[in-house]
């Protein structure tokens, strides 16, 4: 267990560190300063592309910060440095969590099943936000979306420490990546088309749902051990069926 967790921690931490350093190098415009020509700007663009995870967080944080600050340039800078702070905190947290897992003070399966339960509760809240028109007023950054993607983050982080086969772990991580990709697509979708949809029949929503179904089915089939995980998996499955039952009924009516 110790070798597995430390191996994943090592790769994740280095990936976050490299991504953060590349983003800082691109954001501070060191390359165009030393190479003030097309080559320099091309290199800076490439750095931004390589640092996309941090850039993505920056882009997500910019709109709400702009609403608070009112200055686009200041909001962009604040969003970037906030993203750097998030990455730095994540690096420290991952190493701390790995230590607690190795000391058996944290059960990854408990957190995985809890993350799944949080996600489906967020999905109920998101349905309410859409049906009542709150999503159209508040945009993408709603408490419902925050709940959904907090749950997904907990699940995805937990998969790196689960005591299971590599095949099951890879399936879970792939499904988590599908959910994350669907979330990014959902952000673009609503930014482009608005919040006119009142049901879940949009490609991004279905993508997120597909990834979640894989997570749920795999969890029930391969990780259904322990009192709390069993209760969480069964509750999640029941809530998921109820949620989609409402979606179908509302669509038919």
pLDDT at 87: 84
Whether residue 180 sits in one domain with residue 132? yes
Closest CA to 85 of 23, 161, 143: 23
Structure tokens that stand for 152 in this block: 């997904």
% of the chain residues with pLDDT over 70:
89
Q: Are residues 211 and 194 in the same domain?
A: yes
Whether the CB-CB separation of 190 and 139 falls below 8 Å is answered with yes
253 & 176 share domain: yes
90 with 133, same domain: the answer is no
Q: Of 81, 106, 131, at which residue does a domain stop?
A: 106
Is the pLDDT at 198 greater than 60? The verdict is no
Q: What domain range includes position 156?
A: 109-253
Q: Of 207, 142, 211, whose CA–CA distance to 175 is shortest?
A: 211
Predicted pLDDT at 34: 75
* pLDDT above 50 for 1: no
Q: Based on the fold, state whether residues 91 and 148 are members of the same structural domain.
A: no
* 62-112 pLDDT tens trace: 888 888 888 888 888 899 889 888 888 888 887 787 777 777 777 888 989
Q: 159 and 44: one domain?
A: no
* Claim to verify: residue 51 and residue 140 sit in the same structural domain: no
For residue 42, pLDDT over 50 is answered with yes
Residue 201 tokens read as 């029949």
The set of residues, in sequence order, having a beta carbon less than 8 Å from that of 176 and lying 6+ positions away, is 152, 155, 156, 159, 211, 215
Name the domain count of the chain: 2
Give the residue from 106, 122, 137 where a domain finishes: 106
Pair (69, 119) in one structural domain: no
- Looking at 84, 106, 128, the residue that finishes a domain is 106
- pLDDT category, 208, cuts 50, 70, 90? confident
Nearest residue to 9 via CA among 95, 137, 113, 135: 95
Pair (10, 124) in one structural domain: no
The span from the CA of 72 to the CA of 210, in Å, is 36
Question: In the prediction, which pLDDT does 106 show?
Answer: 77
82 and 117, same domain (yes or no)? no
Question: Looking at the structure, do residues 70 and 135 belong to the same domain, yes or no?
Answer: no
Q: For residues 116 and 170, state if they share a domain.
A: yes
């Amino acid at each position: 267990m110790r070798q597995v967790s430390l191996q994943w921690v090592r790769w994740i931490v280095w990936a976050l560190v490299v991504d953060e350093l590349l983003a800082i190098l691109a954001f501070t415009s060191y390359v165009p300063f030393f190479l003030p020509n097309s080559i320099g700007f091309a290199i800076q663009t490439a750095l931004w592309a390589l640092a996309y995870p941090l850039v993505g967080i920056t882009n997500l944080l910019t709109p709400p910060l702009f609403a608070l600050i009112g200055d686009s340039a200041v909001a962009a800078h604040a969003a970037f440095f906030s993203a750097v702070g998030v990455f730095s905190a994540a690096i420290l947290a991952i190493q701390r969590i790995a230590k607690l897992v190795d000391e058996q003070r944290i059960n990854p399966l408990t957190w995985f099943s809890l993350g799944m339960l949080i996600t489906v509760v967020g999905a109920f809240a998101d349905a309410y936000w859409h049906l009542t028109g709150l999503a159209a007023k508040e945009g993408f950054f709603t408490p419902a979306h925050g709940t959904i993607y907090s749950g997904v983050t907990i699940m995805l982080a937990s998969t790196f420490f689960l005591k299971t086969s590599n095949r099951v772990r890879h399936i879970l991580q792939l499904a988590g990546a599908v959910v994350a990709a669907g979330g990014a697509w959902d952000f673009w979708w609503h930014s482009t088309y608005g919040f006119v949809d009142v049901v879940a029949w949009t490609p991004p929503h279905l993508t997120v749902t597909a990834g979640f179904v894989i997570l749920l089915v795999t969890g029930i089939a391969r990780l259904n051990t322990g009192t709390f995980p069993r209760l969480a998996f069964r509750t999640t499955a029941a809530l998921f069926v109820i949620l989609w039952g409402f979606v179908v009924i509302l669509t038919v009516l």
